[in-house]
Structure 1
């Protein structure tokens, strides 16, 4: 008769603190938010169960749906700019910095990564000063190279404001994909690179045919982190454009829309139940995106073991 393996209590002991903290700050608030979205207040101030009626109001009532779909579309564009600019630039920088011929690579890595550790308040305030048409340095810098005619109050125009803020966010966080891809490139064994060089595969061809397939899993992880981070974005928009996400809500994203709805702003009263409904919708969007990545993309990415 086979002996029963003893239960490893030390595993539970070591996991317990992390599980308790995660449950307290993540799971419990999430359940509370989901519960709050299923209730509403009557005119008498009584809390009543309404089921999915708040979601029907959010998606179907013009008073709510117009703002929601506008914020969702802006969030989608905010994410798309990061995917098309931040991640490719991060991969390119990582490829350049991983070259053994590059001098002062450590200095460049540090300089590019420093904005990542800066506060959103500092980044938003500094870039507002830089881009100000009154006292900003951007007009003077463009004038110095003969391009002053290209300057415009980018944060003050509806057609430019969101893209400008997205590019500011790219400038701040491009160091994260750069460092992750840089680490993935360094993990490629020298034998693989040497074999490619012996076959005459060098330069861009080597990166495209050898290195890029090996770092695809890392690129996939960066992409899903970008998706989650951008659909949780709030700080930069709030600091730069305020809770109203001006001009004329052109920079309004789900985070600022949630803030105004839940806490209220100026003459708008806060509505915790509709705010929780928006938060639940955000959670659903992120959950769907993560599931699509895990089950449709991640399973197709081949991981190489060395």
Structure 2
């Protein structure tokens, strides 16, 4: 064997087949559970059932969804409610999560582990339990909310929040905030723990302490984590269904004031009461949900994440 061929064989790196072996199970499960149903849904949205047979109609279902007044009114109502649901979480849940993380990361705070656990516990509860429990709490007939407000002299402020169109969606959004505020809190808390002590000590030597230290030092360092939490909130809220369904039912009352894309999809695909199910239009709505979420994720990845400055320690 020549010297050149010997050096070539020595430079050749061995094929790492074990990587493919380890990734194969997860890839197969993800393909079976996510990829194939996604393409099946997109395909179903391009067909329509005519005489008990699926006929390819192209984008007619999408034209019906946006052009037919009956469909378009329900779709835009659900999309608007979904947007408000997301805004409440962004403006209430995530800032509270950041504030709680900042407080619980303070070394002077005692029993911080207990507080973290207590705040995170609602996150592991079932949607059915949360929806049913809060429906009982806020009930004007047998709920405890009127009595609790009466104890502090504020019973006059009580209204059936889940029974009024102008309050129902905001009330459910705040209930969802109560349930899931532990997730941004724990993620931001973990991000704050990753900040080196040298950075904090240098800030304290320069006289930067308290709220000023959080605003000028810690907050810029955890901005990437806040960005990730924001996009997770967006995806989770536009996939929401369980809480609305468990508290208000498939009709998302009162008068569809709490109807979001998830409940609209459920009624359309499976049918409800006297309404018969239409899998093709349901797949069309599901496809629109996918495109909306995809657009939001791409906007974050290509316009926002690239502008967030990352610090290496």
Fold shared by both chains (TM-score > 0.5) = yes
TM-score of the superposition, structure 1-length normalised? 0.99
Q: What is the distance in 2 between the residues matched to 1:65 and 1:183?
A: 43
TM-superposed CA distance for 1:45, in Å, is 2.2
Q: What is the distance in 1 between the residues matched to 2:20 and 2:52?
A: 45
In structure 2, the residue corresponding to 1:161 is in which secondary structure? helix
TM-superposed CA distance for 1:46, in Å, is 2.4
Structure 2 equivalent of residue 214 of structure 1: 221
TM-superposed CA distance for 1:156, in Å, is 0.2
Structure 2 equivalent of residue 268 of structure 1: 275
Structure 1 equivalent of residue 243 of structure 2: 236
Where do 1:115-130 residues align within 5 Å? Answer: 115-130=122-137
Structure 1 position 69 matched with structure 2 position 76:
yes
TM-superposed CA distance for 1:8, in Å, is 0.5
Structure 1 equivalent of residue 286 of structure 2: 279
Q: What is the distance in 2 between the residues matched to 1:305 and 1:26?
A: 34
Q: What RMSD over aligned residues (CA atoms) do the two structures have, in Å?
A: 0.6
Aligned residues: 305
Where do 1:64-103 residues align within 5 Å? Answer: 64-103=71-110
TM-score of the superposition, structure 2-length normalised? 0.97
Structure 1 equivalent of residue 173 of structure 2: 166
Structure 1 equivalent of residue 31 of structure 2: 23
Q: What is the distance in 2 between the residues matched to 1:146 and 1:100?
A: 38
In structure 1, the residue corresponding to 2:107 is in which secondary structure? coil
Structure 1 position 106 matched with structure 2 position 133:
no
Q: What is the distance in 2 between the residues matched to 1:264 and 1:17?
A: 36
Structure 2 equivalent of residue 195 of structure 1: 202
TM-superposed CA distance for 1:47, in Å, is 1.4
Structure 1 equivalent of residue 298 of structure 2: 291
Q: What is the distance in 2 between the residues matched to 1:119 and 1:46?
A: 39
Q: What is the distance in 2 between the residues matched to 1:146 and 1:203?
A: 36
Structure 1 equivalent of residue 17 of structure 2: 9
Structure 1 equivalent of residue 211 of structure 2: 204
Which of 36, 41, 44 is the matching residue for 2:44? 36
Q: What is the distance in 1 between the residues matched to 2:114 and 2:152?
A: 27
Structure 1 equivalent of residue 307 of structure 2: 300
> What are the Cα deviations for residues 221-273 of structure 1, in whole angstroms up to 9, with x where unaligned?
00000000000000000000000000000000000000000000000000000
Q: What is the distance in 2 between the residues matched to 1:93 and 1:25?
A: 36
Q: What is the distance in 2 between the residues matched to 1:60 and 1:144?
A: 53
* Structure 1 segments of 4+ aligned residues over 3 angstroms from their partners: none
